[in-house]
């Protein structure tokens, strides 16, 4: 499950279109869109707004999400940003490896473990719009490659709930801190231009965050239940049996070995059960 | 881990996090020169990265990052009770590197730190100065390869050779460099130093193959040991932890036969035996982290003092001792 947070509707619209997301009219607090494996929320501008929407999205939806719950999801903040560095052409997407909050000076580091198609960079989140002349005159000193107004709020909120490999910030260079008239279409174009790369990245992230369901099949669970019964295993022994079976499957990748002889055995005294479980242990360890 | 089936991880050390104050140190420059293609991220303090909450140890192990940092006092720590001091007074350990490039299923480092990333402290001179200060009050027995495997890392940061050279110039200092690597060639050009013991951890092929991921095979380690002995180094063999496997008696008997068919027993400095043991908390934490291994499949008990070990720990130790004793006299066997 992928959660996406954008600040503006024009940043959201290419994503909504690409994944055919539907507006959830039941959500009164934010524009919220949903698809099969995706939620998208439009937070509004600013780090506080981003943090609130991020926390809302995670807290509201984690419990609805069957596949692995909190562990199986990832959250991505996507949007445009500014930079003074002309090295980045307009429309360049960057995956952020360091987020600096300008006002508090705090730094945050996502965990980048998977291959990705983006250049990487750092971003500094400001409360106010940063203009070129502020930087050139020395009124504002920049510590990072990029400037935005959301990333630090998003990251702080998301990392309250999720592990670091589940949180990503992707920013597309939209301007050189020289915006005079805000142009929604241009912003939407910037995000549209990275949709293919984003799509590939999302697949990678899903792979990374996938939580496997129970490795035992229903048949195998049934078989083990029968073994427990016929061997009259204690609660502890039953736990051990299930644990051994799961580890066997994880280690070997094969179906469980044949346990029918244990199902046919009817033990009368506990000691026999103990002996049988030792034999099963050997079977699971060395089959 | 299964996740790797569905995503491709970045290579080891794809990112190097560098403390601002560490960047200028020669060791930092050396490490960086080894990884020209890595992405460099400047940080204020290594703990800003290493101690972040909610890191996933197993996933990080698949794409470990390096962190270069400057260590502050204390540099030396008294050796813990549970570790063998081999009859040495003033047993201390020091950690110029945190975490290890190998990935043993039973490793106590798993979850000991909040991160699987490797920290290299670049101010090695400060560690050496701390040793000199300690030496003023008497001899010192020091383990600098304690929370890591320095010889395995020698190609990245030459700390094994650094400690060897340092020990060679100090009276009263004795150093144990413990390793699971086969990387003897990285230090083979150094002259053997009397104050240094190269200590190799060895496990039967069956244990190494199943539970010591990324570490070299038993054969490779034995070849390295033989070369070190031939060059005149003092070599300690550490049979620790003894991990129980099916037919363990036969496995461990044949293992010792193999070891001493390659290594001349009379040249071995000493050995130690340690049946698998771990604090209850560590055991719980690692069992939780590692659902993908059956290394803890044999029944364990929690002894007084909260130590988890095999229920037949004594029997395993006794058996191993007897067999080791076929090759080595009692006074060369510790633990
Ligand atoms: S070699 Fe030692 S430190 Fe490294 S993973 Fe194995 S047990 Fe842990």
Question: Which among A113, A206, A285 has the least Cβ separation from residue B62?
Answer: A113
Which residues of chain A does B114 touch, with a Cβ-Cβ cutoff of 8 Å?
none
Q: Whose alpha carbon is nearest atom 8 of ligand 1?
A: B107
Q: Cβ of B294 and A244 within 8 Å?
A: yes
Pocket test for ligand 1, best of B104, B113, B202 (most atoms within 8 A of CB): B104
What average pLDDT does range B153-158 have in this prediction? 97
What average pLDDT does range B238-242 have in this prediction? 97
Phi-psi region of B229 (alpha: psi -120 to 50; beta: other; left: phi over 0): alpha
What average pLDDT does range A48-55 have in this prediction? 98
For residue A141, what pLDDT is reported? 94
- CB contacts < 8 A (A, B): 95
For residue A64, what pLDDT is reported? 56
Q: Whose alpha carbon is nearest atom 7 of ligand 1?
A: B107
| Share above pLDDT 90 across residues of chain A, in percent, rounded to a whole number | 70
Nearest C-alpha neighbor of B198 from the set B152, B134, B135, B156: B152
Whether residue B55 is predicted with pLDDT greater than 70 in this model: the reply is yes
Q: Residue B243 in contact with residue B211, Cβ under 8 Å?
A: yes
The domain made up of A2-209 is a member of CATH 3.30.70.20:
no
Our CA-based measurement puts residue A72 at a distance from the nearest CA of chain B, in whole angstroms, of 11
Whether residue B20 is predicted with pLDDT greater than 70 in this model: the reply is yes
Dist. CA B180 → ligand 1 center (Å): 7
User: What is the Cα–Cα distance from B21 to B70, expressed in whole angstroms?
Assistant: 7
Whether residue A210 is predicted with pLDDT greater than 80 in this model: the reply is yes
User: What is the Cα–Cα distance from B210 to A108, expressed in whole angstroms?
Assistant: 37
pLDDT in tens, A104-138: 999 999 999 999 999 999 999 999 999 999 999 99
For residue A287, what pLDDT is reported? 62
Whether residue B3 is predicted with pLDDT greater than 80 in this model: the reply is no
For residue A21, what pLDDT is reported? 98
Our CA-based measurement puts residue A94 at a distance from the nearest CA of chain B, in whole angstroms, of 13
Interchain contact B1–A (C-beta under 8 A):
no
Whether residue B326 is predicted with pLDDT greater than 90 in this model: the reply is yes
For residue A62, what pLDDT is reported? 66
Q: Is the CB of B150 under 6 A from ligand 1?
A: no
pLDDT in tens, B114-123: 999 999 999 9
Nearest C-alpha neighbor of A190 from the set A120, A110, A53, A92: A92
Which residues of chain A does B243 touch, with a Cβ-Cβ cutoff of 8 Å?
none
What average pLDDT does range A4-9 have in this prediction? 98
Nearest C-alpha neighbor of B212 from the set B197, B224, B200: B200
pLDDT in tens, B21-52: 999 999 999 999 999 999 999 999 999 999 99
In this structure, what DSSP letter does residue B133 have?
H
Please report which confidence band the pLDDT of residue A267 belongs to, taking 50, 70 and 90 as the band edges. Answer: confident
Which residues of chain B does A157 touch, with a Cβ-Cβ cutoff of 8 Å?
none
């055995």: which residue's tokens? A265
User: What is the Cα–Cα distance from B57 to A255, expressed in whole angstroms?
Assistant: 28
Which residues of chain B does A281 touch, with a Cβ-Cβ cutoff of 8 Å?
297-298
Q: What angle do CA A224, A229, A235 make, to 5 degrees?
A: 85
Q: Cβ of B7 and A207 within 8 Å?
A: yes
Whether residue A67 is predicted with pLDDT greater than 50 in this model: the reply is no
| Share above pLDDT 70 across residues of chain B, in percent, rounded to a whole number | 99
For residue B82, what pLDDT is reported? 77
Question: Which among B39, B49, B56 has the least Cβ separation from residue A120?
Answer: B39
What residues pair up with A78 in beta bridges, in sequence order?
A: A170
For residue B295, what pLDDT is reported? 87
Q: Cβ of B3 and A114 within 8 Å?
A: no
For residue B2, what pLDDT is reported? 32
Mutation choice for A interface testing from B2, B56, B105, B209 by most A CBs within 10 A: B56
Domain boundaries, chain B: 2-334
- In chain B, residues 275-304 whose CB comes closer than 8 Å to chain A: 291-294, 297-298
DSSP state string for A160-189: HHS-GGGEEEEEEEEESS--SS--HHHHHH
Please give the mean pLDDT across all residues of chain A. Answer: 92
Whether residue B180 is predicted with pLDDT greater than 60 in this model: the reply is yes
Mutation choice for A interface testing from B297, B300, B301 by most A CBs within 10 A: B297
Question: Which among B15, B44, B297 has the least Cβ separation from residue A97?
Answer: B15
In this structure, what DSSP letter does residue B334 have?
E
With H, G, I as helix, E, B as strand and everything else as coil, classify residue A125. strand
Dist. CA B201 → ligand 1 center (Å): 10
Please give the mean pLDDT across all residues of chain B. Answer: 94
Question: Which among B2, B14, B53 has the least Cβ separation from residue A212?
Answer: B2
Whether residue A85 is predicted with pLDDT greater than 90 in this model: the reply is yes
pLDDT in tens, A241-262: 998 898 888 777 788 998 988 9
CB atoms within 10 A of CB A150: 30
Nearest C-alpha neighbor of A118 from the set A41, A187, A199: A199
Whether residue A285 is predicted with pLDDT greater than 90 in this model: the reply is no
What residues pair up with B105 in beta bridges, in sequence order?
A: none
Domain boundaries, chain A: 2-209, 218-286
Whether residue A77 is predicted with pLDDT greater than 90 in this model: the reply is yes
Our CA-based measurement puts residue B240 at a distance from the nearest CA of chain A, in whole angstroms, of 21
Interchain contact B63–A (C-beta under 8 A):
yes
Interchain contact B326–A (C-beta under 8 A):
no
Q: Residue A112 in contact with residue B10, Cβ under 8 Å?
A: yes
User: What is the Cα–Cα distance from B206 to B211, expressed in whole angstroms?
Assistant: 8
Whether residue B322 is predicted with pLDDT greater than 60 in this model: the reply is yes
DSSP state string for chain A: -EEEEESSHHHHHHHHHHTT-EE-TT-SSS-EEE-SSEEEEE--SSHHHHHHHHHHHHHHHGGG-TTTGGGG-EEEEEEEEE-S-TTS-TT-EEEEEEEEETTT--EE-----B--SSEEEEEEE-SS---HHHHHTTSS---SSEEESSHHHHHHHHHHHS-GGGEEEEEEEEESS--SS--HHHHHHHHHTTHHHHHHHHHHHHHHH-----SS-HHHHHHHHHHHHHHT--HHHHHHHHHHHHHHHHHH-SPPPP-HHHHH----SHHHHHHHHHHHHHHHHH-
Q: Residue B54 in contact with residue A75, Cβ under 8 Å?
A: no
Least-confidence region, from B152-161, B226-235, B287-296: B287-296
Which residues of chain A does B15 touch, with a Cβ-Cβ cutoff of 8 Å?
97, 112
For residue A16, what pLDDT is reported? 98
Mutation choice for A interface testing from B54, B65, B206 by most A CBs within 10 A: B54
Q: Is the CB of B180 under 6 A from ligand 1?
A: yes
Both tokens of residue A244? 């051994």
User: What is the Cα–Cα distance from B310 to A119, expressed in whole angstroms?
Assistant: 50
Nearest C-alpha neighbor of B276 from the set B297, B247, B304: B297
What average pLDDT does range B63-70 have in this prediction? 98
Please report which confidence band the pLDDT of residue B4 belongs to, taking 50, 70 and 90 as the band edges. Answer: very low
For residue A214, what pLDDT is reported? 78
Spelled out in words, what is the top-level CATH class assigned to the domain B2-334? Answer: alpha beta
Mutation choice for B interface testing from A2, A106, A114, A275 by most B CBs within 10 A: A114
Whether residue B243 is predicted with pLDDT greater than 60 in this model: the reply is yes
Whether residue A74 is predicted with pLDDT greater than 70 in this model: the reply is yes
Dist. CA B61 → ligand 1 center (Å): 12
Q: Cβ of B41 and A204 within 8 Å?
A: no
In this structure, what DSSP letter does residue B16 have?
E
Nearest C-alpha neighbor of A220 from the set A258, A274, A253, A247: A258
Least-confidence region, from A152-156, B220-224, B311-315: B311-315
Q: Residue A134 in contact with residue A82, Cβ under 8 Å?
A: no
Which one is predicted more confidently, A212 or B73?
Answer: B73
User: What is the Cα–Cα distance from A11 to A45, expressed in whole angstroms?
Assistant: 11
Whether residue A66 is predicted with pLDDT greater than 60 in this model: the reply is no
């Amino acid at each position: 499950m992928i959660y996406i947070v954008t600040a503006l509707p024009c940043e959201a619209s290419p994503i909504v279109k690409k994944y055919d997301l539907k507006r959830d009219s039941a959500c009164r607090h934010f524009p919220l869109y949903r698809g099969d494996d995706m939620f998208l929320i439009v937070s509004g501008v600013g780090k506080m707004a981003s943090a609130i929407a991020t926390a809302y999205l995670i807290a509201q939806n984690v419990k609805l999400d069957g596949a692995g719950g909190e562990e199986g999801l990832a959250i991505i903040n996507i949007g445009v940003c500014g930079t003074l560095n002309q090295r980045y052409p307009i429309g360049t997407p960057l995956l952020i490896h360091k987020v600096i909050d300008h006002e508090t000076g705090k730094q945050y580091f996502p965990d980048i473990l998977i291959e990705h198609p983006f250049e990487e960079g750092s971003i500094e989140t400001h409360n106010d719009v940063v203009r070129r002349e502020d930087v050139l005159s020395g009124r504002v000193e920049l510590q990072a490659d990029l400037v935005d107004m959301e990333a630090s709020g998003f990251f702080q909120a998301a990392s309250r709930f999720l592990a670091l490999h589940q949180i990503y910030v992707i920013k597309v260079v939209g301007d050189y801190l020289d915006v005079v008239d805000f142009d929604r279409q241009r912003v939407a174009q910037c995000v549209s231009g990275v949709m293919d790369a984003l799509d590939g990245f999302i697949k990678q992230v899903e792979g990374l965050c996938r939580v496997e369901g129970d490795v035992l099949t229903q048949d195998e669970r049934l078989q083990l239940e029968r073994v427990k019964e016929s061997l009259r295993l204690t609660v502890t022994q039953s736990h051990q049996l299930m644990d051994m079976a799961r580890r066997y499957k994880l280690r070997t990748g094969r179906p469980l070995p044949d346990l029918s002889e244990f199902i046919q055995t009817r033990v009368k005294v506990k000691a026999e059960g103990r002996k049988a479980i030792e034999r099963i242990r050997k079977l699971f360890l060395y089959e | 881990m299964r996740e790797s089936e569905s995503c491709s991880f970045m290579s080891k050390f794809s990112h190097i996090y560098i403390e601002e104050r560490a960047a200028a140190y020669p060791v930092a420059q050396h490490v960086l020169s080894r990884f020209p293609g890595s992405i460099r991220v400047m940080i204020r303090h290594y703990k800003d990265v290493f101690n972040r909450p909610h890191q996933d140890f197993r996933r990080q192990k698949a794409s470990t990052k390096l962190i270069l940092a400057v260590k502050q006092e204390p540099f030396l720590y008294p050796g813990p009770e549970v570790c063998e001091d081999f009859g040495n007074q003033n047993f201390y350990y020091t950690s110029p590197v945190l975490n290890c490039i190998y990935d043993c299923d039973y490793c106590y480092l798993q979850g000991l730190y909040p991160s699987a990333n490797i920290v290299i402290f670049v101010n090695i001179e400060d560690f050496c100065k701390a040793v000199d200060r300690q030496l003023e009050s008497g001899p010192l027995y020091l383990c600098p390869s304690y929370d890591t495997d320095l010889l395995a890392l020698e190609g990245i940061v030459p700390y094994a050779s650094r400690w060897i050279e340092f020990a060679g110039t100090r009276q009263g200092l004795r150093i144990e460099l413990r390793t699971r690597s086969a990387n003897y060639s990285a230090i083979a050009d150094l002259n053997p130093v009397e104050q240094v013991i190269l200590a190799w951890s060895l496990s039967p092929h069956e244990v190494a193959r199943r539970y010591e991921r990324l570490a070299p095979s038993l054969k490779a380690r034995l070849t390295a040991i033989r070369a070190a002995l031939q060059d005149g180094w003092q070599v300690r063999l550490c049979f620790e932890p003894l991990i129980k496997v099916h037919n363990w008696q036969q496995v461990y008997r044949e293992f010792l036969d193999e070891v001493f068919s390659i290594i001349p027993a009379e040249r071995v400095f000493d050995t130690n035996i340690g049946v698998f043991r771990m604090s209850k908390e560590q055991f719980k934490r690692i069992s939780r982290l590692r659902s993908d291994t059956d290394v803890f499949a044999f029944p364990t008990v929690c002894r007084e003092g909260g130590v988890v070990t095999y229920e037949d720990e004594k029997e395993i130790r006794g058996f191993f001792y007897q067999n080791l004793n076929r090759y080595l006299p009692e006074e060369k066997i510790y633990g």
